[in-house]
Amino acid sequence: MDDWDRTVAADPSIAGRATLRDVDLGKPLVVAANGHAIAGGMELLLAADLRVAAAGARLGLSEVALGLIPAMGGTARLGRHLPPALAAELLLTARPISAEQALTWGLLNRVEPAERVLDAALELAGSIAANAPLAAQAARRMLRASADLSSVEALALEAELAAELARTEDAVEGPAAFVEKRAAVFRGR
């Protein structure tokens, strides 16, 4: 038994916290997987909004081969990211797939050479950070919430979020900067 095993034995909820099982950061999360993401690593990957993995990396949820299920968010999140047949294949066979296959399935945003994984993730994060923070947070909230809503409910939430954003300083700054042909200075207000 190593330190991690002792820590989890003393506090079983720590694994869920480590993989963001019951945590929503409220902000876009970009995960860079510079190696295999199996079991808990895959569950952390599934918690992200954007995902970059190293070429040749293997991704999977192996728990059913051990008599368990991915209980740190993997079972609940997988079907939100993949079509049902692909989610079932990954979950029920316990066989990992390559990062390249995960990219074709739409599970990853990018597959990069190992030495570029972190840079690619930081570039994505930088692109997000260059935008109005309140708008990015609202768009993320809408994206996550709308999956569980009817079209009517989703459109109502979208209108509500748009109305909230329209009252912000950033919503005035963005169009003004566009018209004035200058970079916007967003303040998150």
Indicate which residues carry an active-site annotation.
Answer: 43, 63
What residues contact residue 5 under an 8 Å CB cut-off, 6+ apart? none
**Amino acid at position 62, single letter:** S
Spatial distance between the Cα atoms of 36 and 24, rounded to a whole number of angstroms: 24
String of b and e for 140-161 (b: at least 16 CB within 10 Å)?
bebeeeeeeeeeeeeeebbeeb
Residue 131, judged by CB atoms within 10 A of its CB (0-12, 13-18, 19+), counts as middle
Spatial distance between the Cα atoms of 175 and 87, rounded to a whole number of angstroms: 41
* CB atoms closer than 10 angstroms to residue 59: 24
Query: Would you say 67 and 86 are in contact if contact means Cβ atoms under 8 Å apart?
Result: no
